[in-house]
Each structure stands twice: as structure tokens, then as C-alpha cells.
Structure 1
Amino acid sequence: MPEEGQTETEFWDARYAAADRIWSGRVNAPLVEHAAALPPGSALDLGAGEGGDALWLAARGWRVTAVDISRVALERAADVATARGLADRIDWQRHDLGASFPQGGFDLVSAQFLHSYGPLPREAVLRRAAEAVLPGGTLLVVGHAEVPGGPKEHDHRVHLPGAAEVRESLALGADWEIEVCADVDREGTRPDGTPLTFRDAVLRARRAS
């Protein structure tokens, strides 16, 4: 968690700078499950981290705006994009989403595990994310519905809403079709490779054309 007097940006920059990599580099499995069949267009990746999701989308033909609070993470991800020949398909933008949000509309807005140790106004950010979806586009919000591994493994107090709570907080209008709203178990592994069951809160909604 951020130390006293440390900003959220400073915390995340320090965390990324302390290791060569803190995530796997792979795309999040729920994004593959829910976006693989979508026709490529423009995508917004909120909380892009080291770029696993943005790189996957770009490789499939999407034009991606990838957003994160950490410049260290974005620079690391941009280096990978350049090495893979995808640099021209991804616009890396640094935003503290509680204070600023990328401009424009998108065919896909994806927020994968957009949680924070600090005071992230997640509900307000996700409502802004919904506003950024173009007619005919998709909003995909996936988060932890429970603390992975149980609360004893984590000493933080981040509220983890279920899918129904996320849906209620978004208050999507009549021009939206809720395609998926469910808490789903997913098998994964801890960093040391031992098995771990995750419970994901998944909301996928399509805006009318």
C-alpha cells in the first residue's frame, strides 16, 4: 500500500521500478473469452499495466488506447510493442483516472481488474468508461469478486463488488443490452505456480447501434 505522503502515481511507479516485471505479460483470460469474437476496431484499455491486454488486442488488428497511472509500466509496455512491430497500433497514455480520462469514443472499452490500494473512485471511472463506448460497441468490466486466496493472504481493504453491484452502480440506460452479468470462478496459479481459484465479477454490455 502507499506509504504516508506517497501519491498513487509514486506508489505504482516504485512498484514497477522495483522489478523487471510484476505481471505475467500474458493477456487476461476473461478478455480473450469475451472479446476474441468481436470485429477489430478502436479499443480503450483501462489499467493497462505492462501491456498484456493492449498487445493482444493490437496483434488482432485493434487500434488501442492503453491507459495506466504508471509511466514506468507504460514505457515498459511500449518497448515490447516496438519489439513486436505493434507500436503504430497502440497509443500509450498516462492518466490518473480519478483526475483525467482519455478523449474520444471506442468500439470496445475494457477494464480488467481495475482495483487500487488508494482512493480510486472506481464507480465514477466505470461510468465514464461506459460513456466512452460508441453505438454498437462493447463495455467489458472484469474485477475480483473476492480476494484471491482469501483475505489472510492480503493486508488491504479494497472493496470488491460482485457483478450485480457493478451493474447497479453503472445505471446503464435503455440503449444498453446486458449480455453477461455474473460472478464466475476461474482456475489460475499463484506466482509460485501453485493452483488458485479466482472469482471474477464479469459485466459485458453492448450499446445499441
Structure 2
Amino acid sequence: MSHHEHADQRQAATDYFEPEGWEQRYAGDAQTWSGHANPRLVELASTLTPGTALDVGCGEGGDVVWLAQQGWHATGADFSRNGLARAARHAELAGVADRVDWWQVDARRFDAQGRTFDLVTSHYLHPPDGGMVEVTRRLATAVAPGGHLLVVGHALHSMPGAHDGHDDQRTRAMFAVEDLLPALPADMEVLVAEERPRRLVREGRAVDVADVTLAARRRA
């Protein structure tokens, strides 16, 4: 599962879906992601009154740190212990460690255990074989009344190799926003369900990609 931007295409596909691959990725000293908040999160959270937030698949914690800097009390959840350790260091360096918590959990087996948050967000998680539908259903259970859910993924046509007919596990892990809608409970109102454009730098070139974007609000 990838967390921010697109993952290294040289890594074996199975490593995207299991903790061991991400433990190896986060084992070194080099920073993997930019540390900047994802734009879809900035768009939504900037319109909300800060409260409690949960970021599932937080990786190195860029979104969690940004949320804390905006006044949220943020919890970062990830299945990689090394990723969470990096995220905690980044929060310390940013001076927001007192506004963040960390939770080691696999999104595929996520259980809110009765906890609710004003904002639940997940960026670029891609469980295999359509698994994001079930993950979205699980994430929705953690949204408080009046709270928001934001799920963002890579659009298939934006992924390298998407047009060459190569159908591997990574490609089959992509999802469309329409796939996620049945996972929402009846008391959630859909605010955004579309692909939204984003520009990134890939191998030194500016590339226009698209994010599958689902934002919903639980009725109070």
C-alpha cells in the first residue's frame, strides 16, 4: 500500500500490500516522501474547524504533522512500525508531538473500537483485489456525527504502465470512486465523488495525474 505520491515501481508488487515491504522501505535514513501535506487533505481540512483527526496509512506522518500544525489533535495509523517511528520523529522536529498520537494497525483489519474522530482521512492506500471498498467501510465507522471522511487514491490512468496492458497486483489494486460509494453508511452525505487533477514531478518531469477523491459527511 502506498502512502504519498506514487510508490517506487521497481519494488515487487507484493511488497505494496504487506508490512514487511514497508518496514524495509522505511528502515534506512533517507526520507521517502516529501513531508508536505497532500493537496486533497489541505482542500478539505482548511474548510473545517479543527478537532480530532485520524490518518490511516500515515507513512512518515506528513499529513499528521500538518493537521497538528493547523490545530487538530491528530492520530496517525499505519501498519509499519518503522514508518510510525519516522513519523514520530518528524512530529518532534516540527514541535507538535504533544498534539499527535500513533497507532500501529493494518487498514484491512482496522477496527475503530468505538473511537470516533471529526475527520478520518486516508491517502493512496491500495489494498489488493478491490480491498479498498472494505477499508472504506471500516474507516466510515470511525467518523463522528457531523464529521468528515476523505478517501483519496491514484486514478488508474495516472499510474505508470497503466496503458501497456500489464495487469499485475498493483494495477488490480486501483479503484474508481464509484466502487467506494456502496461502502458508505446511509447517514453519510457524499460531498465529492470525482477524479481531481494534481501535478507532480516524476523522474525530473512535471506530470499531470488524477486523484480518485471521495469526501463525505456524517449527518449530526
Q: Same fold (TM over 0.5)?
A: yes
- When normalised by structure 1's length, the TM-score is 0.88
Structure 1 residues 55-74: aligned runs within 5 Å = 55-74=65-84
The question of whether the paired residues in 1 share the 8 Å contact of 2:79 and 2:107 is answered with yes
Of 84, 88, 96 in structure 2, the residue corresponding to residue 78 of structure 1 is 88
Asked if 1:15 is matched to 2:25, the reply is yes
Asked if 1:114 is matched to 2:125, the reply is yes
Instruction: Find the aligned partners of 1:112 and 1:23 in 2 and give their Cα distance.
Output: 13
2:175 maps to amino acid: P
Asked if 1:176 is matched to 2:188, the reply is yes
Structure 1 residues 1-209: aligned runs within 5 Å = 1=12, 8-18=18-28, 20-103=30-113, 104-116=115-127, 121-146=131-156, 147-151=158-162, 156-168=170-182, 170-173=183-186, 175-190=187-202, 192-209=203-220
Size of the alignment, in residue pairs? 203
> 1:15/1:167 Cα in 2 relative to 1: closer, same or farther (>3 Å)?
same
1:203 maps to amino acid: L
The question of whether the paired residues in 2 share the 8 Å contact of 1:2 and 1:8 is answered with no
Identity of aligned residues (%): 42
Q: 4+ residue runs of structure 1 moved beyond 6 angstroms?
A: none
- When normalised by structure 2's length, the TM-score is 0.84
Q: CA RMSD in A?
A: 2.3
1:172 maps to amino acid: P
1:157 aligned counterpart, secondary structure: helix
The question of whether the paired residues in 2 share the 8 Å contact of 1:136 and 1:208 is answered with yes
